[in-house]
Amino acid sequence: MDPVAALEEIAFLLERDRASSFKSKAFRRAADVIGGYSAEELAARVHDGRLKRTKGIGDTTYAVIAEAVAGDVPSYLADLREKHGPAVPAAGLRAQLKGDLHSHTEWSDGTTPIGTMARAAQLVGLEYLVISDHSPNLTIANGLSAERLAQQLEVLDELDAANEASGGIRLLSGIETDILLDGTLDQSPEMLDRLDVVVASVHSKLRTESREMTQRMLRAIADPRMNVLGHCTGRLVEGSRGTRPQSTFDAKAVFAACAEHDVAVEINSRPERQDPPDDLIQLALEAGCLFSIDTDAHAPGHFSFLDLGAARAEANGVPAERIVTTWPADRLLEWAAAKREERGARGA
């Protein structure tokens, strides 16, 4: 077994089960250390003991690497697979998901590089992944200025070309842009026009009174650059950050606008969010909305949250055809670009 793949799968399974981040980081650090070695050099370093003395390699990670170099599935990984199950898609709606439109990397407040996130998304059976780091207003999350976003797009192009050559997952450009207090999207229109997918979410002033919050969301939804309404209520139902009540807004009006402007309503799969609540999923269904089942992943193991998002969509009777993340990448891209192209044809 490839030692880097073994280390990354272990880290993934630990993150999936929300173990201490200290543990998963140790395995990812070891993967980074050995990633630059050829198979021959790594085997030599294991054989003569140099690897055991290498900074970033501990007793446990060394044992995993040594077993993988010897051609075995490391016992640590085998135990995790047996205890928690392998990192593979489930049956039903989950098996139909082809992409994830909402993920974060170390460019903003995620924990790992783009390449690591891409490999983890492929590990759970996805065909494409949108990298959607935060926008500049969210300084606490190291949001991307227009200049940094432009730099990220160059890196994405290089990684996607390499993935295409090697049969890897397709990488698409995106952003999770703040919906600002006046309803505008927090990134320059020129940069938004360069992206494949735009997720827009409210992150501030979540306790704004209902009428004002509704107007804020409606103005954003009317923007032809917006494709997905992210975690629409902002609620937290569990987790280390505690709980937070959902924001209040006229859900019927907001979902009617999403249906009118062809904006998908995100079913955010994070266990601490589970957003929207079931009653709002039902309202969005009745309004004729499309949906996007996303992880909002900040670490590679978070892609396993798709299981929860798919289960919630299934329980609420959301048809697979109305979930844009079940669509092939080319159809997804045509849908996401359609509004901007129509706007350009009108000369707006």
The single-letter code of the amino acid at 158 is E
Check which CATH number belongs to the domain holding 181 and give it.
3.20.20.140
**pLDDT band at residue 285 under the 50/70/90 scheme:** very high
Instruction: Based on the fold, state whether residues 211 and 319 are members of the same structural domain.
Output: yes
Q: 114 near 171, Cβ under 8 Å? A: yes
Last residue of a domain, one of 84, 103, 133: 84
Q: Report pLDDT for 195.
A: 98
Residues 219 and 239 in one domain: yes
- pLDDT tens for each residue of 22-62: 888 999 999 999 999 999 999 999 999 999 999 999 999 99
Per-residue confidence (pLDDT) for residue 90, from 0 to 100: 64
Report the distance separating Cα 72 and Cα 164, nearest Å.
29
- Statement to judge: residues 51 and 119 lie in one domain: no
Q: What is the pLDDT of residue 344?
A: 59
Separation of alpha carbons 134 and 125, rounded Å: 25
Residue 323's pLDDT is 98
- Residues 73-117: tens digit of each pLDDT: 999 999 999 887 766 666 799 999 999 999 999 999 999 999 999
> End of a domain among 24, 52, 84?
84
Q: Based on the domain organization, do 101 and 216 belong to the same domain?
A: yes
Q: What is the mean pLDDT of residues 123-130?
A: 95
Q: Are residues 159 and 224 in the same domain?
A: yes
Give the whole-number percent of the chain exceeding pLDDT 70.
Answer: 97
Confidence of residue 345 (pLDDT cuts 50, 70, 90): low
Question: 31 and 171 in one domain?
Answer: no
Residues 43 and 169 both lie in one domain: no
Is the domain of 150 the same as that of 71? no
* 163, pLDDT greater than 90: yes
- Sheet containing 170-178, strands listed edge to edge, beginning at the edge strand earlier in sequence: 99-100, 128-131, 170-178, 197-201, 228-229, 264-268, 291-294
User: Mean pLDDT across the stretch 6-12?
Assistant: 93
The pLDDT tens digits for 164-218 are 999 999 999 999 999 999 999 999 999 999 999 999 999 999 999 999 999 999 9
What is the band of 321 on the pLDDT scale with cuts at 50, 70, 90? very high
Which pLDDT does position 334 carry in this prediction?
97
The pLDDT of residue 89: 63
Residue 103: strand pairing partners: 297
Q: At residue 346, does pLDDT exceed 60?
A: no
pLDDT one-digit tens code per residue, 209-251: 999 999 999 999 999 999 999 999 999 999 888 999 999 999 9
As a residue count, the chain comes to 348
**Domains: count for the chain:** 2
For residue 307, pLDDT over 70 is answered with: yes
DSSP secondary structure code for residue 139 in this structure: G
Say if CB 144 and CB 151 are below 8 A apart. Answer: no
Is-above-0.85 flag for pTM?
A: yes
Residues 182, 44, single domain; the answer is no
285 and 223 fall within a common domain = yes
- Which of 84, 109, 135 terminates a domain? The answer is 84
DSSP 159-223: HHHHHHHHT--EEEEEEEEEB-TTS-BSS-HHHHHT-SEEEEE--S-TT--HHHHHHHHHHHHTS
Considering the domain architecture, whether residues 143 and 15 belong to the same structural domain is answered as no
Residue 51, both tokens? 């690897």
Do 224 and 252 have their domain in common? yes
The amino acid present at 103, given as its one-letter code, is S
CB atoms within 10 A of CB 38: 8
Range of the domain at 319: 93-346
Say if residue 348's pLDDT is above 80. no
**Cα distance between residue 205 and residue 296, in whole Å:** 20
pLDDT at 170: 98
Contact 2, 31 (CB under 8 A): no
Average pLDDT over residues 333-346: 80
Higher pLDDT, 267 or 17: 267
| pLDDT of the residue at 248 | 97
